[in-house]
């Protein structure tokens, strides 16, 4: 063992300790590697910063931007509606459809991006169907990780593999986009069967971090008696008043009609005015106390639904909510009543109450002259509140959630993704260039502004990747990878190629639990390729085993996706251990069986 090998091993130990104990952020660990390795003479200055311009890092930046463009245009929301239409309320079908969909999405974007994009939709589906979100998010998260193995651009290790192999052996043949697909398909099917058959035993039943209602806890405490959202159906044989004003719903029941679905015209009104019509067969969404809503439904002959159906998507917490706004001294509302100002027509949101002098006013608020400093409780779609916050009339007391979805740009976002995939598949364009073309298309077509594109990039991941690539170079240059490979081969003796690959898979699976999957890739690929060469096995297959095994990280919440779903799902570490132990063993068995039968090992 040379002094250089000892030194690079010491640097590796420091990196692992920093990852485990989180004394600094993971991206800072990457920067430490970029600085310390050339100062120690283990890599050249050019090699130290080569990760910033690597094919892998540029590809990840582009994938994140493409994912942000798809999110901005509402593509994922449309997909969620489609899943709910076919899945109904069956837990097995919902878990299967959501998890398989996320797995497919993960095949062409980073798995963390796919999970983040689809998590709001999964939570909304869970809330609407009554299935605990904890029983949906964990299978979804695991399948997002596994789905990254369907193509070469689905996860950081797979994006990185060709670059790291080239460092170890410049003459090695690179993998194609679908080289890993048979393994990914087998793993995804196995995971779905695992959760459908054993989910009731291994998945927690807690509800996770779900919102208690359409308004925040602070507002709920101030306006505690106002109630909640409900949906009612107007019977087909109803023959009452049709004008909202004539029904006198608010004066009689202290209930506010916030939306009308006119089923005869297939038209929805989200801030109904006094002359809006309600007819037979329509659905309405109201806000009020349960007692008064039930009383109103009984007296008018309407049917109160158990769940939101017609407005489940439109008034979900992702798209609508309740927020408080303060009237500014410069506001046009000052000294006007909401009726004289045509409040709903001008602002397209629903006034619920006025808070003035420590008193909540509910009755007759349309006729009360407004004053500077009055707090208005408003219900509406987030996109309308985003428009309102740009005006000087109101100042919101809380951050406006959601964002303005550019549905008119959806076709451009999908086209940009299609162009990137076409360049990869049809013209064999380098991965980074093809994906960067799709990302550039998002900006040029107006799906994202350039600032939004920059803001979407996870720079922590970028610098982590860029910093760990020179660590892999150092392992190769100093001979450390070859030394470790020789030592391990001497310990296990003469074994078959399949058994050797199984040992590599287990070593990688363990290492990726205590370090990042990127760290496991840049360190284990050279090591595995050297081990395979020493045993007369195929070094490419050894590298492939490593990058696939880097996704075998289910027992602990150390993977980015597992960390992402932990709080929304209300999970504890024991939940990952319970569900992940069986998944880890199944992953190894299915992966090695697929490699044996499909790749002839």
Q: What is the DSSP string of 519-553?
A: HHHHHHHHHHHHHHHHHT--HHHHHHHHHHHTT--
Please count the structural domains in the chain: 3
> Is residue 453 situated within a structural domain?
yes
By three-state DSSP, how is residue 370 classified? coil
Residue 98 inside a domain? The answer is yes
Looking at the DSSP bridge assignments, the partners of residue 377 are 324, 353
Is 28 part of any domain?
A: no
Tell whether 291 and 335 lie within a shared domain. Answer: no
Q: Is residue 62 part of a domain?
A: yes
CB 188 within 8 A of CB 107: no
Query: Do 200 and 224 fall into the same domain?
Result: no
Residue 430 has a pLDDT of: 85
**190 and 76, same structural domain?**
yes
Smallest Cα–Cα separation from 568: which of 270, 260, 132, 250? 132
Q: Is residue 584 part of a domain?
A: yes
Same domain for 90 and 163, yes or no, is: yes
| Closest C-alpha among 238, 307, 313, 226 to residue 270 | 313
Q: Does the residue 3 lie in any domain? A: no
Whether the CA torsion 379, 385, 391, 392 is positive or negative: it is positive
CA distances (Å), 292 to each of 11, 252, 353, in order? Answer: 68, 9, 16
Q: Which residues of 510-544 are buried (b: 16+ CB within 10 A; e: fewer)?
A: ebbbebbbbbbbbbbbbbbbbbbbbbebbbbbbbb
Least Cα distance to 161 among 587, 523, 597, 599 occurs for: 523
In the listed set 304, 338, 357, which residue is the last one of a domain according to the structure?
Answer: 304
Starting at the earlier edge strand, list the strands of the sheet with 283-288: 267-269, 256-262, 283-288, 228-233, 303-304
Gap between the Cα atoms of 96 and 236, Å rounded: 37
Which residue, 273, 304, 335, sits at the end of a domain? 304
For the domain that residue 280 is a member of, what is the CATH number? Answer: 3.30.70.1450
Q: Are 452 and 515 found together in one domain? A: yes
| Range of the structural domain that residue 275 is part of | 217-304
Q: Are residues 119 and 263 in the same domain?
A: no
- ∠ CA 555-65-144, nearest 5°, is 25
pLDDT given at position 188? 97
Domain membership of residue 266 (yes or no) is yes
Residue 268 lies in a domain: yes
Both 299 and 333 in one domain: the answer is no
Angle (deg, nearest 10), helices 410-427 and 431-444:
160
pLDDT beneath 50: ranges in the chain: 209-212
């Amino acid at each position: 063992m040379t002094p250089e090998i000892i030194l690079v091993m010491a640097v590796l130990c420091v990196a692992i300790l920093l990852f485990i104990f989180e004394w600094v952020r993971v991206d800072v660990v990457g920067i430490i590697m970029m600085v310390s390795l050339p100062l120690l003479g283990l890599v050249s200055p050019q090699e130290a910063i080569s990760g910033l311009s690597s094919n892998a890092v540029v590809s990840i930046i582009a994938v994140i931007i493409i994912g942000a463009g798809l999110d901005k245009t509402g593509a994922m929301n449309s997909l969620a509606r489609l899943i709910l239409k076919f899945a109904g309320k069956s837990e097995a079908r919902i878990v299967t459809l959501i998890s398989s969909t996320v797995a497919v999405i993960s095949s062409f974007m980073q798995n963390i991006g796919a999970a983040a994009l689809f998590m709001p939709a999964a939570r909304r589906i869970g809330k609407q169907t009554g299935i605990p979100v904890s029983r949906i998010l964990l299978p979804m998260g695991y399948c997002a990780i596994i789905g990254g193995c369907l193509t070469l651009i689905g996860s950081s290790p797979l994006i990185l593999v060709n670059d790291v192999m080239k460092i170890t052996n410049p003459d090695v043949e690179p993998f194609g986009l679908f080289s890993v697909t048979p393994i990914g398909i087998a793993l995804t099917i196995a995971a779905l069967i695992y959760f459908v058959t054993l989910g009731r035993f291994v998945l927690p039943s807690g509800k996770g971090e779900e919102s208690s209602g359409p308004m925040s806890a602070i507002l709920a405490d101030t306006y505690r008696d106002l109630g909640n959202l409900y949906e009612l159906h107007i019977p087909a044989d109803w023959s009452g008043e049709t004008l909202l004003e004539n029904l006198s719903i608010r004066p009689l029941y202290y209930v506010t009609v916030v939306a009308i679905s006119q089923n005869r015209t297939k038209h929805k009104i989200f801030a109904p005015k006094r002359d809006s019509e309600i007819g037979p067969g329509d659905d309405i969404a109201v806000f009020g106390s349960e007692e008064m809503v039930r009383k109103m439904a009984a007296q008018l002959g309407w049917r109160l639904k158990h769940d939101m159906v017609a407005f489940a998507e439109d008034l979900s917490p992702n798209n609508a909510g309740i927020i408080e706004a303060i009237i500014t001294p410069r506001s046009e509302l000052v000294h006007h009543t909401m009726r004289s100002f045509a409040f709903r027509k001008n602002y397209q949101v629903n006034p619920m109450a006025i808070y003035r002098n420590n008193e909540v006013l509910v009755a007759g608020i349309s006729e009360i002259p407004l004053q500077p400093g009055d707090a208005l409780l408003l219900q509406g779609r987030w996109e309308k509140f985003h428009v309102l916050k740009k005006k000087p009339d109101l100042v919101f007391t809380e951050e406006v959630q959601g964002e303005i979805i550019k549905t008119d740009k959806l076709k451009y976002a999908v086209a940009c993704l299609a162009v990137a995939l076409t360049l990869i598949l049809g013209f064999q364009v380098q991965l980074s260039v093809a994906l960067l073309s799709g990302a550039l298309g998002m900006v040029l077509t107006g799906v994202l502004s350039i600032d939004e594109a920059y803001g979407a990039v996870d720079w922590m991941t970028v610098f982590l990747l860029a910093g760990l690539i020179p660590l892999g170079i150092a392992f190769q240059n100093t001979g450390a990878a070859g030394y470790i490979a020789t030592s391990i081969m001497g310990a296990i003796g003469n074994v078959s190629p399949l058994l050797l690959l199984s040992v590599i898979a287990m070593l990688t699976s363990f290492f990726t639990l205590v370090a990042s999957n990127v760290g496991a890739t840049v360190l284990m690929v050279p090591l595995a390729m050297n081990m395979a060469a020493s045993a007369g096995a195929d070094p490419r297959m050894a590298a492939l085993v490593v990058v696939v095994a880097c996704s075998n990280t289910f027992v602990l919440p150390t993977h980015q996706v597992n960390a992402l779903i932990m709080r929304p799902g209300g999970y504890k570490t024991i939940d990952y251990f319970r569900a992940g132990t069986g998944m880890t063993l199944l992953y190894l068995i299915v992966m090695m069986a697929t490699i044996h039968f499909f790749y002839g090992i």
